[in-house]
Structure 1
Amino acid sequence: MTQPDEGALNAMIGATVKGLREKSGLSMRELARRSGVSQPFLSQIERGVSAPSMITTYRLADALDVLPGALLPAPPASRVSVIRAGEGRSIPVANRADAAAGRALVMQPGNPLEVIDYRIEPGQYISEWFELPGELAVYLISGVLDVEISGHPTVRLEPGDLVSHPADLPHRWLLVDDEPAHALLAIAHPGEGAALRAPSHS
């Protein structure tokens, strides 16, 4: 599957965000207020100057009452989708230079299923708190990862382990032993508006 270059992709995402905002009758200022994304940064996204991080993508989707995949370009029309090694949109977890990036394998308009491939290196920021309606599962391929789930004991994952839980429980990941980790995250969104958001205590 041929993918557009980074600049073209950012421009498409920006145009999509702007179109959804205008369709919702929201000013840029109001969308910034609802999403918690600063208005200057939102302007950069809409103009294709900056790319939204994972947390920003989810905050904007939540404020616009759409699934996160609605902000990304639609794939070619087909009931069968194949993502080859190295393909998939790379999206950093947060808007910071040291943030780990996930490769969105499944994150498409209208699709409630989301699958993200994370390869986390020591020193990369991964500990952003998230919560969302729906269900999620984390499968660890390599390394060691602690999964903190609000109100529950920390779950330590080793290769071959999987943890699943209601995604509306605030949760985050922590790298263990300063070693790389490789994990797959699967999210089942219940429908439109089911976007990730940062919990109030994060």
Structure 2
Amino acid sequence: METSDQSVRDLLAANIKRARADRGLSLSELSRRSSIGKATLSQLESGAGNPTIETVFSLSRALELPISDLLEGGRGEMTVVRGDEQEVLAGEAVELRLLRRIEDGGLIVEVYDQRVRGTARQRSLGHVGTEHTIVQAGKLRVEVGDSAAELGPGDSVAFDASIPHSYQAIGGEVRSVLLLQYRGTGPHVC
């Protein structure tokens, strides 16, 4: 991710249009696949919408793309990510900042700074890839399917991200690193 004047909205708009065109999908079909209203998708494609974590993850699932394919522009020789310059992708309880996308031999890894706020629960219906979370500060409850675990600083969890899952901070804010791992750009889970 290069430091640029492009906002998350602008990048998402261009990348949704490109991915939809590449797949020959109508706005109506993408709406059906993602469970996002056609009017909302139209706003997102025009750069006027307000994307949330839930929206981006639904689009990732529907388009079978890594999340960074929806949020990133071109790449340069050196990548510098300034924390105070990154736009935050916010959900009900989680804030994500995409720090880096790493590609090597068909493997894609996205690195996010993740903050889980208060005691609200952030739910995901699932998306492509394998999800890894490493807790840096605070206590985090993670539910994946019928399993649950509580994690503290230094603890980590990994799971098939296509399974519905949720995150919830216990007793205050949680700071963590989120890694999303993909094999290629298709629907394959690592």
TM-score range, shorter chain: 0.7 to 0.9
* Whole-Å separation in 2 of the counterparts to 1:105 and 1:99: 19
Structure 1 residue corresponding to 2:169, chosen from 172, 175, 191: 175
Tell me, yes or no, if the aligned pair for 1:68 and 1:107 is still in contact at 8 Å.
Answer: no
Give a deviation string over 1:160-201, Cα, whole Å, max 9, x none. Answer: 211223334432111112x111111111112323499xxxxx
- Match for 1:24: what amino acid? R
**Which residue of 2 is the match for residue 4 of structure 1?**
5
Question: Aligned ranges for residues 1-202 of structure 1 at < 5 Å?
Answer: 2-4=3-5, 6=7, 9-78=8-77, 80-93=78-91, 98-107=92-101, 112-122=108-118, 125-152=120-147, 154-177=148-171, 179-194=172-187
TM-score w.r.t. length of structure 1: 0.77
Q: Which amino acid aligns with 1:146?
A: R
Per-residue CA deviation, residues 66-105 of structure 1 (Å, 9 max, x unaligned), is 3222222323333x53323334442123xxxx54321111
Q: CA distance change for structure 1 residues 194 and 53 in 2, over 3 Å: closer, same or farther?
A: farther
Alignment-mate amino acid for residue 167 of structure 1: A
Alpha-carbon deviation of 1:151? 2.8
- Counterpart of 1:42 in 2: which secondary structure? helix
Which structure has greater strand proportion?
2
With 37-46 and 158-167 compared, the bigger mean Cα shift is at 158-167
Shift of 1:58: 2.5
CA contact (8 A) 2:57 2:126 kept: no
Change (3 A) 1:4 1:194: farther
Give deviations 1:134-167, integer Å, cap 9, x for gaps. Answer: 3222111111111112232x21111121122333
Q: By how many angstroms is 1:44 displaced?
A: 0.7
Structure 2's unaligned 5+ residue stretches are none
Q: Which amino acid aligns with 1:138?
A: T
Number of residue pairs the alignment of both structures matches: 186
Aligned CA RMSD, in angstroms, stands at 2.7
Unaligned stretches of 5+ in structure 1?
197-202
CA contact (8 A) 2:137 2:153 kept: yes
The alignment-based identity, stated in percent, is 27
Whether the 8 Å CA contact 2:54–2:124 is kept in 1: the answer is no
Q: CA deviation at 1:64?
A: 2.5
Q: Cα gap change, 1:161/1:105 in structure 2, threshold over 3 Å: closer, same or farther? A: same
CA contact (8 A) 1:70 1:108 kept: no
Alignment TM-score, normalising by the size of structure 2: 0.82
Measure how far apart 1:30 and its partner are.
1.2
Provide, for residues 11-54 of structure 1, a one-character-per-residue CA deviation record: whole Å limited to 9, x for no partner. 33213212322232221111111111110100110111113222
